[in-house]
Structure 1
Amino acid sequence: MFEQKGYQKVEFNQKPDIFIINTCSVTENADKKCKKIVKEANKINPDGYVTIIGCYAQLKPQEIADIEGVDAVLGAAEKFQLINLLDGFVKEPSGNKAKVYNQNIEEAVEYHTSYSLNDRTRTFLKVQDGCDYPCAYCTIPLARGGSRSDTIANVLKAAREIAESGVKEIVLTGVNIGDFGLQNGKRENTFLDLVKALDEVEGIERFRISSIEPNLLTDEIIAFVASSKRFVPHFHIPLQSGSSKVLALMKRRYKRELYVDRVTKIKELMPNCCIGVDVIVGHPGETDEEFLETYNFLNELPISYLHVFTYSERENTTALAIKPVVPMNKRAERSKMLHILSDKKRRYFYEQHLENSFTVLFEEDVENGQMQGFTENYIRVTAKYDPILINETKKVKLSTINENMLVEVEEVEVYETH
């Protein structure tokens, strides 16, 4: 949108005239980061126009407006009108409070197609936004509004545009991606309909599903991915707790038995599949015994890695009323234990696949004469830099795991240079 108006993108440290800062608000830390980045922007260009958008901007617009150096704050619906609202980007006189454009989150009902363009090999394509699940710890429904989706026709159009740009892998993203299909409050289709349609898109070699709720990951989706041409064997499935009691406190929509069922089904159909897991430690009401239940549950499951989140208090969430509150030192201790478990799980997953052949999509990042990429089942590999391999999928044999937890490979597939 900026480029269409004649603006040019520059790096943060190149003294931009306009800073657009997109915020998260999943943890308290995200709010602190916003303040820090505003300070940096003011230092780089004291005359630069600073606009804050994103979840924090929707949740706490007045708090952001009070941050010194902020010129405008735009909520979830308004950020898509950013250029129309602010075009010209005339900085307010010193001492004036920031302009705030922020309506009630119930007004954020439109869906806007978007995908990333900053990587030659992989693009993130958003297909869904918002969430109707009121989990006890989460502010996302308050920051992003109700669940709404793109149409399948629009998603296919975007996927074909991405294919034309030469990108080989698309990662499908959304706030609650498994709930895909809601348009104007009506269910028009399902996530399964979407993946079936995308599997026919020529020019994209891989589709990856970013994160999908266990209760929305159906047998049919798992079976389709297992037999598809382009969807890779990799799922990221939020668990949050391995204790059914804590899951109930969190207002999650399943019990641990369902999670076991999903993982078992995936591994039956795709033994090499990578399974990532989100876990929250230190949620109010989580006892030492329930944390150990989670730890042992994860330890026994054939999963591949963890994303560990330490619970942090968020305004207007029902978790604030749950007692007892877990002390911060216990939260940190539990987080450390799960991070160590994650490293062990990842190493074991990698070890299981050594001496076997997989395809790797090689990326442009080159460091110390080495290039990296991911196998279809999300094993991070490293190989000697070869410019011909960038943005190519090549068959390789996995060799050894190095000290950086990268798998070294032997080039298997022969290619010709011209």
Structure 2
Amino acid sequence: MIDTTIFQNKTAVYYTLGCKLNFSETSTIGRILKEAGIRTARKGEKADICVVNTCSVTEVADKKCRQAIHRLTKQHPGAFVVVTGCYAQLKPEQVANIEGVDLVLGAEQKGELMNYLGNLEKHEKGEAITTATKDIRSFSPSCSRGDRTRYFLKVQDGCDYFCSYCTIPFARGRSRNGRIEDIVAQARRAAGEGGKEIVITGVNIGDFGKTTGETFFDLVKELDKVEGIERYRISSIEPNLLTDEIIEYVSRSRAFMPHFHIPLQSGSDDVLKLMRRRYDTALFASKIRKIKEMMPDAFIGVDVIVGTRGETELYFEDAYRFIEGLEVTQLHVFSYSERPGTQALKIDHVVSPEEKHRRSQRLLALSDEKTKAFYARHIGKEAIVLAEKSKAGMPMHGFTDNYIRVELEHDDALDNKLVRVKLGDFNEDGTALKGTII
């Protein structure tokens, strides 16, 4: 039994880098610490504990993690500093040697952070506690509300895919998941707290069921039955795991929104082979067609990596033309970053940083064109928007079922309310459509 009396009246700050899954896990860590008597430090207040949840998807991410740690140790001198997340799992000793770091926890230990805080005494050198990736077995549940209206529900962790460019399987371990029964119970608790929208998160959520003998489709059907939750969004799902039955179910579902996020990574079949992805462009295109046949107004976000090893100019042009012809809404463009220990390092043909930037800019311009065209098609239509809290005097924002961002006049009474609006023209900075409540 942990003696929580030493934590009474202590304060903590939290800093998260990376994906929605990380934000969900940080929020859960914060809730656990709060239950032990540790409150979140107010703005400008010196904290007793700093928790940094790191990302390591690129070298830039590693650098940002180090910068965040340095910044927090300066802002909160004397604080007990805990670092966890992917960077901590991959390079624990490197992180432990950063000045000011007291404790480094790996993927297996993250969910049990309270067990490792001790009496919060500072260490001369950080202590690293990790488990070898091959031995990571635990699944730490998480269903947490972020700063905004929606909840993030973690249903799966880890990945068995080992794509040639990716370190995530080494950082998070093998694919594993919670039981449907337990996950549904978490969704019910979120509904009981007034939650109306849940984002389903994980590393490879379509692979759900490896440890329980269930399927992601089974999970979708059970979550759809939870009373009080009006909206679910599937954060990201591999194209080869997005089955036609899932698409068809979402099209007629009570609460699953016409909103998909599907990683493509490259529109060149040659590059997809080099990446060791488990599909080709023909399969990907067929999934997009299926979605649009069933849900013509669906929002489809797509991940793309540019400048991977082996991506010649010809391959990139093939990829660009393929993506240009897809009826998708938005591209999330990432520049390839070499990661130690990955198979991609064995591939010839290295793309220069300047060329990566040029290719990124072309795809970002294409994305902007596609997103604006999608938004424009909805001007003059009616939609239901889930309004989100904003600062006093500032416009409120929210999203339609198909993820169009809408700007509303400020009204505190609208926070976390579903409202019917008429969609007008773009707002001043072109990031949303103006909405008028009907």
TM-score, normalising length: structure 2: 0.91
Per-residue deviation at 1:403? Answer: 3.3
Aligned partner (choices 136, 146, 152) of residue 124 of structure 1: 152
Residue 162 (structure 2) aligns with: 134
The 5-angstrom pairing of residues 241-280 of structure 1 reads 241-280=266-305
CA distance in 2, matches of 1:296, 1:366: 42
Aligned partner (choices 166, 172, 178) of residue 150 of structure 1: 178
TM-score, normalising length: structure 1: 0.95
Unaligned runs of 5+ residues in structure 2 are 1-31
* 1:298-352 alpha-carbon deviations (Å, 9 max, x no partner): 1111100010000000011000111111111101111111111111111011011
Partner amino acid, structure 1, of 2:369: K
Partner amino acid, structure 2, of 1:48: A
State whether structure 2 residue 247 is matched by structure 1 residue 222.
yes
Residue 208 (structure 1) aligns with: 233
Do 1:73 and 1:101's aligned partners in 2 also have CA atoms closer than 8 Å? yes
State whether structure 2 residue 382 is matched by structure 1 residue 351.
no
Distance 1:23 1:120, change over 3 A: closer
Unaligned runs of 5+ residues in structure 1 are 413-418
CA distance in 1, matches of 2:44, 2:63: 20
CA distance in 2, matches of 1:59, 1:246: 26
Aligned partner (choices 132, 141, 147) of residue 113 of structure 1: 141
Do 2:146 and 2:152's aligned partners in 1 also have CA atoms closer than 8 Å? no
Per-residue deviation at 1:12? Answer: 7.0
SS at match of 1:182: coil
Do 1:57 and 1:74's aligned partners in 2 also have CA atoms closer than 8 Å? yes
CA distance in 1, matches of 2:337, 2:37: 42
**Alignment root-mean-square deviation, CA:** 1.2
CA distance in 2, matches of 1:11, 1:266: 45
Distance 1:12 1:144, change over 3 A: farther
Per-residue deviation at 1:296? Answer: 1.4
Per-residue deviation at 1:385? Answer: 1.1
* 1:34-53 alpha-carbon deviations (Å, 9 max, x no partner): 11112112211221111110
CA distance in 2, matches of 1:307, 1:179: 22
* 1:366-409 alpha-carbon deviations (Å, 9 max, x no partner): 47541100000000010111222211111111110123221012
Residue 3 (structure 1) aligns with: 34
Partner amino acid, structure 2, of 1:53: T
SS at match of 2:421: strand
Residue 416 (structure 1) aligns with: none
Q: How many residues align?
A: 406
State whether structure 2 residue 111 is matched by structure 1 residue 86.
no
Per-residue deviation at 1:163? Answer: 0.4
Partner amino acid, structure 2, of 1:56: Y
* 1:120-164 alpha-carbon deviations (Å, 9 max, x no partner): 620111000000001011000000000001100011100000001
Distance 1:402 1:4, change over 3 A: closer
The 5-angstrom pairing of residues 16-415 of structure 1 reads 16-92=47-123, 96-119=124-147, 121-183=149-211, 188-366=213-391, 368-405=393-430, 406-412=432-438
SS at match of 1:2: helix
Compare 37-46 and 21-30 and name the one that shifted more: 37-46
Identity score, percent? 50
SS at match of 2:199: strand
CA distance in 2, matches of 1:192, 1:367: 42
CA distance in 1, matches of 2:37, 2:394: 38
Do 2:143 and 2:187's aligned partners in 1 also have CA atoms closer than 8 Å? no
